[in-house]
Structure 1
Amino acid sequence: MVLDFLYGAGVGLALGMTGGGGVLAVPALMLGLGYTLPQAKPVALIAVGSAAFIGCLDGLRRGLVRYKAALLMALLGALFAPVGLWLAKILSVTTLMIIFCTVLLFISARMFAQAVFPHISEGNQEQNLLTAKCLVNPSTGRFQWTNRCFVSLSTIGGVSGLFSGMLGLGGGFIIVPGVRQFSNLNMHGTVATALAVIAFISAGTVSAFLIAGGVIEPTAWRFIGAALAGMLLGRTLAPKVSGSLLQIGFSLLVCVAAVMLLVKTLMPFLH
């Protein structure tokens, strides 16, 4: 029982502080609590989606959420989530786990490089701003909508939904770097908008799961409740913690989780 609360709070804390901490939900459930991937996916999505909704409300209160962009990405995410669910049914659990671990390792490497080599990241960001497809109007703080902006955000939302359905990921690890890559929206606005999208996509994916006859174990609600509490704490602590230090720690944690899951997945084939 205690582990349910500890792992759930940890996931919520990471999500609240980084916007992409939801990638740890499935590893926490599988490695820490003994869930299988099919069991972990809906629980992770409910926990991450609920926690993201709390963070989204906080972002709305502060005027940080770009709600039109969030709704567009969420709509495309909801449309592609069933495709991810379908892929999850036709692919073996081993294949899904290898894909999942590969995604985690990519996220870890990218975040670590950005934190350790900030000058390179800043240079890339300056270059990105010259070719940004979604520019924020400095006088209103809102996106200047163009066809390129519409297509870019739609693509980000669709890919997020696909991974949400297939692997049980909220999609923040795609939304945050994606929006940062294609726009000049600041980090606080990006995280707040990502949390709104995650909440909508997770809700759509879980609804599809339940409509298809899926069941959530009663004990899973302890993990979900703790994730909500962790989110509230994370949103409070985020402004007080060094961004680079937090990013390095988070990237290393994701890397360890990915390696442990990969070893666990491949172990039966090594005997």
Structure 2
Amino acid sequence: MIALTIAIGLVIGALVGLLGGGGSILAVPALVYLAGQDLQQAVATSLLVVGITAVVAVVPRLRARQISWRIGVLFGAAGAVTAFAGAAVSRVLPDELTLALFAVLMVGAGVRMLQEKPATGTACAVDGGRVNWRRCLPRTLAGGLVVGFLTGLLGVGGGFLIIPVLVLALGLPMSTAIGTSLVVVAINSTAGFAAHAGEATVDVPVTLAFTGAAVVAAMVSGRVGARIHTDRLRRWFAWLVLTVAGLIAIQLTVDLFA
């Protein structure tokens, strides 16, 4: 079990460091279907690990100046407020319905990100390499509130939702969206873990192995990701999201007819 957990952690850390998110969309299904945890325990473990990993993954982006701090903090703060509401709703929904909603949202985000020239917002027009955060403040807060609720509901750091919002609605370049997403993921994961911590017990050995592997992978992949062309990263991220959505749909179908 520990070896399996380390392998999962390496993959999650690489995704967070390289793409600014996507860790929880793999971590939650992997912990449920491979490690045998119940959904609430998997959610709490995932949020803790991904939050710590996101903090580590921010470092290479800091050096490359690929973070819009004001947008990240405002987006994350708005999401922290609604994460508790999402967590409360998740406790009364069947696990199968939650995972199905998870898959549907992933498909929508993946399809939009795969568009060759996705329609982007103009609220955060980039002039001279700087983001005009004041012009995009309403969209930033609205996006944060929605993503925060979904973070609490689905038990994810939110990167797979945050990046499409930052790119498609706010108009941030992909490289800046990835760095900014890490800040939001760290904030949202902290709030989400606090909301779920009282409802689930964390397996300490599994969590430590998971976290250690994820942190190492995030440090390495973050340095690589800061140098990769943004269009390529966008396509990789989209295909990752669609692949995991398909795997969840298959597993839910198998469970339904089992």
Query: Smaller-chain TM-score range?
Result: 0.7 to 0.9
Tell me the equivalent position of 1:77. 79
Identical positions, percent: 26
Structure 2 spans left out of the alignment, 5+ residues? none
CA distance in 2, matches of 1:247, 1:45: 23
Tell me the equivalent position of 2:189. 202
CA distance in 2, matches of 1:213, 1:239: 37
Whichever of the two has the greater Rg, that structure is: 1
- Deviation per CA, 1:177-207, whole angstroms, max 9, x where unpaired? 1111233432222111110010011011112
Contact 1:88 1:165 in 2 (8 A): yes
Tell me the equivalent position of 2:126. 136
Cα distance, 1:72 vs structure 2: 0.8
Asked if 1:170 corresponds to 2:171, the answer is no
CA distance in 1, matches of 2:68, 2:227: 23
Q: For the aligned residues, what is the CA RMSD?
A: 2.3
Which of the residues 16, 25, 28 maps onto 1:26?
Answer: 28
Equivalences, count: 255
Contact 2:40 2:196 in 1 (8 A): no
Greater fraction of residues in helix: 1
CA 1:181–1:245 in structure 2 vs 1: closer, same or farther (change >3 Å)? Answer: closer
Contact 1:136 1:144 in 2 (8 A): no
Q: TM-score, normalised by structure 2?
A: 0.88
Structure 1 spans left out of the alignment, 5+ residues? none
Contact 1:107 1:173 in 2 (8 A): yes
Tell me the equivalent position of 1:2. 3
Asked if 1:192 corresponds to 2:179, the answer is yes
Contact 1:137 1:144 in 2 (8 A): no
CA 1:256–1:36 in structure 2 vs 1: closer, same or farther (change >3 Å)? Answer: farther
CA distance in 2, matches of 1:102, 1:85: 19
CA 1:231–1:36 in structure 2 vs 1: closer, same or farther (change >3 Å)? Answer: same
CA 1:249–1:69 in structure 2 vs 1: closer, same or farther (change >3 Å)? Answer: closer
Which of the residues 229, 235, 238 maps onto 2:222?
Answer: 235
Q: Show the 5 A alignment for 1:20-99.
A: 20-22=21-23, 23-99=25-101
- Deviation per CA, 1:125-145, whole angstroms, max 9, x where unpaired? 4xx4xxx11223427x24251
- Deviation per CA, 1:79-126, whole angstroms, max 9, x where unpaired? 000111011011111211111122233333334x33xxx2x43xx34x
